[in-house]
Chain A
Amino acid sequence: MSEQLAKQAAPPPPEGEEQVDRSREFMQRLMTGTPMLSVLAVVASLVLGALLIAFTDERVAKTAGYFFARPTDMLQALWDSVAGAYTAMFQGSILNINRIDTLQQALTPVSNTFYYAAPLIIAGLGVAIAFKVGLFNIGGQGQMLVGAAVAGWIGFSVEMPPIIHVTVALIAGIGAAAIWGGIVGLLKARTGAHEVILTIMLNYVAYWALVYALRSPDLLRNPDNNNPITPGMLETAILNPLPGFKVHAGFLIALAVVVLYWWFIERSSLGFQFRTVGLNPAAAKMAGMNVGLITTLAMLFAGAFMGLAGGIQVTGQVTTGFTSHIDAGIGFDAITVALLGRSSPWGTLIAGILFGALKAGGYNMAAAEGVPIDLVLVLQSFIVLFIAAPALVKTIFFLPKGGRK
C-alpha cells in the first residue's frame, strides 16, 4: 500500500527531451497532474450523480412515457430535476443568490460548510497520518466514539470554569482515543496482525461498549431519560457558535491542526521518520529507525486526531446529549477525505471543506428538492473510486497517459 500511495502522491516527473515546447509541457502536466485529475474525478462523479437523480425523478419517468411524441417535455424534466438538485446543493453550501439581503444571510451557506467540514478535516488527518506510515486506519469510528464518550462524560459531569472545561474535555477525548488507536499500532508492531482487521473489529468493540455505557445511568445515560442518550453538555463545555450561525471554534481548531500536521510531517524529524517508514520500511530499519515504535506512534497520533474529531462532535456539533451514533459516519467519511486529499495537509483541508460543502448542500437539497441525502454518500464514494484509479479518469476524458514514453 505504501508504495502505491507514494506513487499517487508524487508521480515521477516525465523525463521528456529538453527542447519540448514549454507551454505544451505545462499543458501536459496540467492535464495529467494530480490536481486536474481530482477536479475531473469530482466532475465525473457529479455526472453520475445527475444520472441517478434524473432516473429516479417522477416527472422524468412520467414524461419518458411519451418521449417520442414530445421529447422536449422529458428533456425539460431531466434538466429541471438535475439542475434543481445541484442548485439547491450549491445554495446550501456556498451562496444563495435569492437570500443576500443581510451579510448574515449571505454567509450562512458558507458557514454551514465550515461547520460540517471541521470534524471531517480533523478526522481526515487521522486517516492521513496513518497513510503516511503506510497504515490504513479504518478505525475512525471506534476511535471517535471513544474520544466522544470520554470528552462528553467530562463535558456533562465535571464542573469547571469556561474555556478550561472545553479544553480539558477535548484533551481527555484525545488521550482516550489515542490509547484506543495506539493499541492497534502496538498489536501490529508486536504480532504482525493486520491493522485493517484490528481497526474494523475495534470499531464494533467500541460501539457496543458505548451502547452498554449509554444503557447504564451510572456511566453515560441521562438518569432523567429512559432512552440511551447522555445528558446535555454543561454551558462551560460547549464550543459556542458565532451568533446567528452554526459554525463554531471547531473550524479554527481544524485549521490549527492542519498547520500542526503540516509542520509535523514536513518539518519535524519524527515526521521524516514517519514518511520514511511509509515509503520503505526496510530502508527505514536499515537506517536505524524503530519501525515498530513508529507504527505504534502513528496509530496513536491517528487515534488522537480521531479523538479530537469526536470531542468536537460532542462539544460543538451535538451538545444536547449524544447517542451511539455520535460519530455520524465521519470515521468512514474521513477515509474518503484523506484519499481525496492524498494525505497532504492542504489537500486534506480542501477535501474536508469539499465534503463539508457536499454535506451542507446535501441537507439543503434533501429539504428543498426531496432528493435523498444518501446521494452525498454516493458522490463521495464515486469521487474516491475515480481518484484511486487515475488511469480510469484519463480513459473517460480521453486524456493522454503521461509519464510513459
Chain B
Amino acid sequence: MSSEAPSTDTSKAAEGTHQPDTEVHLERVVVRKWRPAIALAALTVVAFVLTVGFGTDESTTFSFAKGSDFFSIPAVALGVRVIGIVSTLVMAAITGIAVWRTLARKRVWGWLYVVFGAFFAVDFLTWAGSGSQFSFTDLMISTVALSVPLIFGALGGVISERAGIVNIAIEAQLLSGAFSGALVASITGNTYVGLLAAMVAGMLVSFVLAAFAIKYLVEQVIVGVVLNVLVVGLTGFFYSSVLSSSPELNNPDRLPAIALPLLSKIPVIGPTLFNQTIIVYAMYVAVVVITWAMFNSTWGLRLRSLGEHPLAADTVGIKVGRWRFWNVSLAGAIAGLGGAYFTLDQTGQFTKEMTGGLGYIALAAVIFGKWHPLKATFAALLFGFARALQQTLSAAGSQVPSEVLLMLPYVITILAVTGFIGLSRAPAASGKPYAKQ
C-alpha cells in the first residue's frame, strides 16, 4: 500500500558492508543509531528545565498502603528540588553511557532505558504533584483499569495484522462488544452469557471486515474506518430507539471482583493485579498464551507467514483466505471481550460512543509495540498509565495541563512510526489482499 523507505541509518550502514555471495557465515552489520541517545538527551533536558528550572521547594507525598495488605509501606515525602536534581544527574549519566556505547558501536543495554524511564517517571510525578499527596497504589489500579480494553484491542490488532489484515476496526469491535455485552447480559440476567455475546459481536464485525477484505478485495483501511462509523451509528441508533425507552435492557449485573488468596494481599501489587474480575484474569492468560503461541506454535508460524508472505504460505498448502478469515475473527472475539469490560466490569451500563476513540489508541499500541503481543501490551499499559496520570493529576489540581498527557500516546506513536523511537515496521503483507494466481 505504501512505499516504505527504511530509515536512513540502516541503509547507509548496509551500503558500507558488502556481503559476498559465496560466504556462508553472515557478516555482522554494525549500525550506529544516534536516535536513542538523542532522545535520551532531549528527555534529560526536558526533565532538567521542568523539575529543576521550574521546581518548587515543596514536597510531594506518595502513599502506598491499602487496608488489605499483609504489611503497610509507609508514605514517602519527596522534595521536588532534591528529586529533580538527583534524577536529572542520573538521567544525564545514563545519556552519557548511551553516547559512549553508540560511539563504541555497541548496543545500548535495554535495562538502561528502563532505569531512565523509572527516574524520569518519579521525577515527573514528584514535580507534577508538587505540594499534594496522592496514592501510588490508586494510580496503579486506575492504570490497569484504563489499560484493559486497550490491551484486548491491541492483542486483537496484533493477531489481525500478523494475519495480513489491517484492523482499523478495533474501535468498532470494542464498541459492539460493549453494547451486546450489556444488552445480552441484561436480557438473560447472566453476565457470563453477556461476555460470550460481546465476543460474538466483535467476531461479527470481524466477519464483515474479513469478507470485504478477503472476498471482495476492498481496501482494508476503508472497510475499517467505515465499520467504525457503522457501529457508532448502529449502537447509537439502538441506544436511542430501544435502550433509552426500556432501561431494563441496559442494566446488566456487573462482574464480581475475585480477590486471589494471598496474592491480593501483597502491598501495591495485590490490589493492582490480583483483585480483579474474570475479564482481567482472562487478559493475563490471553497475553501469555498469545505471546507464547505466536512464536512457538504451528498456529503462530502459519499466522506470521500469512502476514509476511502469503504466497509462500499458499505454496506450502495453507489456505490463505480461510486462515486469514478465522484469525481475523479470533482477533474480533478478543477485542469484543475487551469491549465487555466497559459495560460488565466498569460502568454496568451502555452509553453512546462510550469507547471514545480508545480503539484508535489500541491501534497506536499495536504500532508502538511493533506488532508483538507482549510489547503491544506494554505499550497499552504505558498509554493507560498516561491516562491514569492525567486523571490523578487533574484531580489533585496539578500545574500540568491534562491535555498534554492525553496527547502523549498519539505523539509517541507519531515519533514511533517516523522512526525517532525505533522504527516500527508492519508485517510485510499487512493490508495487501491476496488473490490466488
- Chain A residues packing against B (C-beta within 8 Å): 1, 4-5, 52, 56, 58, 136, 138, 187-188, 190-198, 200-202, 204-205, 208-209, 211-212, 215, 281, 291, 332, 335-336, 339, 371-372, 374-378, 380-382, 384-385, 388-389, 391-392
Contacts and interface: CB of A to CB of B under 8 A. Distances in A.
A336 B233 contact: no
A43 to B, nearest CB: 18
Contacts of A375: 233, 237
Contact of B3 (A192, A202, A208): A192
B223 A281 contact: no
B229 A197 contact: no
Interface string B85-113: 00000000000000000000000000000
A356 to B, nearest CB: 17
A179 to B, nearest CB: 15
B341 interface: no
A4 B225 contact: no
B417 interface: yes
A381 B234 CA distance: 10
Interface stretch (B4-12, B69-77, B266-274): B4-12
Contacts of B212: 385, 388-389
Given A204-B360, A381-B227, A381-B229, A388 B237 contact: no
Contact of B240 (A209, A281, A332, A374): A374
B229 A380 contact: yes
Nearest to A52: B237
Contacts of B208: 385
Contacts of B245: 58
A325 to B, nearest CB: 12
Nearest to B353: A374
Contact of B417 (A198, A281, A332): A198
Contacts of A211: 403
Contact of B236 (A196, A201, A202, A377): A377
A56 B238 contact: yes
Nearest to A212: B403
Interface in B214-252: 216-219, 221-223, 225-227, 229-230, 232-234, 236-242, 245
Contacts of B234: 52, 374, 378
B429 to A, nearest CB: 14
B180 interface: no
A208 B2 CA distance: 28
B367 A197 contact: yes
B410 A388 contact: no
Nearest to B236: A374
A371 B241 contact: yes
Contacts of A335: 222, 225-226
Contact of B364 (A192, A201, A336, A385): A201
Contacts of B414: 187, 193, 197-198, 201-202, 205
B301 interface: no
Contacts of A385: 208, 212, 223, 226, 230
Nearest to B244: A372
A209 B407 contact: yes
Nearest to B360: A200
A204 B233 contact: no
Q: Which of A136, A195, A381 has the most CB of B within 10 A?
A: A381
22 contacts: A52-B234, A52-B237, A136-B219, A136-B222, A138-B225, A188-B2, A191-B7, A193-B419, A194-B2, A196-B168, A197-B414, A198-B417, A198-B418, A335-B222, A335-B225, A335-B226, A374-B232, A381-B230, A388-B222, A388-B226, A389-B212, A389-B216
A393 to B, nearest CB: 10
A247 B18 CA distance: 67
Contact of A192 (B5, B225, B233, B367): B5
Contacts of B222: 136, 335, 339, 384, 388
Nearest to B361: A204
Given A52-B237, A332-B225, A377-B233, A205 B410 contact: yes
B1 interface: yes
A397 to B, nearest CB: 15
A101 B2 CA distance: 57
B306 interface: no
A205 B237 contact: no
B410 A204 contact: yes
A201 B217 CA distance: 26
Contact of A191 (B226, B241, B418): B418
B357 interface: yes
B256 interface: no
Contact of A197 (B216, B232, B413): B413
Nearest to A2: B1
A392 B413 CA distance: 36
B6 A192 contact: yes
Nearest to B406: A208
A212 B419 CA distance: 28
Given A192-B2, A377-B233, A392-B216, 6 more contacts: A1-B221, A191-B7, A192-B4, A197-B364, A374-B239, A381-B227
A378 B228 CA distance: 10
Nearest to B352: A374
Nearest to A371: B241
Nearest to B233: A377
Question: Sorted from nearest, which 3 A-B pairs have the closest CB atoms?
Answer: A377-B233, A372-B240, A374-B236
